[in-house]
Amino acid sequence: MSGRLSGKAAIVTGAGSAGPGWGNGRATAVIFAAEGARVLAADKDARALGRTMDLIREAGGEAEPHECDVTDGAAVRAMADACRASFGRVDVLVNNVGGSRPGGPAELDEGTWDDQLDVNLKSAYLACRHVIPVMREQRSGAIVNVASTSGIRYTGSPQVAYAAAKAGVVQLSRVTAVQYAGDGIRVNTVVPGQLHTPLVEARLAGQRAAGDVEELLRQRQSRIPLGFMGDGRDTAYAALFLASDEARFITGTELVVDGGMTARCD
């Protein structure tokens, strides 16, 4: 197979999905594999991961499933080792795991705050910690961290821990990019906006619209100048560009995928 990632070995975390459809991680794993990457598809949900593997096989791609809790350092080290054992190297890392909980500082309990930072920020740090040494040995690599427009703007819902963690992901990427540029490692961030992913039905509608999915979709779409919501494939294609050699001169920056929402002034 020849493609934009032909010959590269990639780890994609959060490669399952919260439900049917195109979550960011599932779409990234499938599209990377279709573009020639050998993918270690990682997720802690074996059933969700199984569906992703089916889609990769249908696309004619090559992948290995790997169950992993990316908030556990030993498990993340094992994930990096598994990619090298299967494919001999790690050329691309996509840190995609995340999820939001509503509330400001006065509403969030301390445990939820800690959990939000673990899931959304510590997970990216741990993967970088254990993959960067491999990339330094290779003298090459591309890391794509997935943040959120909540990390750069107030997007309509108070979710302070999620917003703080995703802002941290952006700065983690920038600092890491500068530090390891001399080792041939590029680090960038995809910043998705309000996409229609399976999380809308699985979690967000219950948090924000009393379970009314259509009302939540209406609210979210009304903020988007292009007038429609993307899905996980839009995140995946942005990650594909940043992971590919086409982006060889791009590091330490963000690619916002939001239909113009954060450029809007109202």
Q: Give Cα separations from 163 to 22, 152, 166 (angstroms).
A: 23, 8, 5
Of 125, 162, 180, 237, the active-site residue reads: 162
Please say whether the beta carbons of 260 and 226 come within 8 A: yes
Residue entry with tokens 């802690």: 44
The sheet with strand 92-95 has its strands ordered as 62-67, 38-43, 9-13, 92-95, 141-146, 185-192, 254-257
Active site includes 180?
A: no
Return the ∠ at Cα 252 (arms to 246 and 255), rounded to 5°.
65
Return the ∠ at Cα 262 (arms to 257 and 263), rounded to 5°.
105
Catalytic residues: 162
